[in-house]
């Protein structure tokens, strides 16, 4: 499942959901790199 996260005030990353982190962030995988950040939700 594709998810979008924010890494900073201006940087967003979209990738395949990997796992949820207990502090509310999620991890997504783009190619061979895993990024963690705040998920963007639908309004």
Six-digit token string for 36: 């963690």
pLDDT at 42 over 90: no
- What is the overall mean pLDDT for the chain? 94
pLDDT tens digits, 9-26: 899 999 999 999 999 999
Residue 7: pLDDT band (50, 70, 90) is: very high
Six-digit token string for 27: 């991890």
C-alpha span between 37 and 12 (Å, rounded): 9
Residue entry with tokens 């991890």? 27
């Amino acid at each position: 499942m594709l998810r979008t996260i924010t890494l900073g005030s201006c940087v967003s990353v979209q990738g395949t959901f990997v796992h949820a982190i207990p502090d509310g962030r999620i991890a997504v995988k783009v190619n061979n790199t895993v990024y963690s950040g705040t998920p963007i939700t639908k309004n």
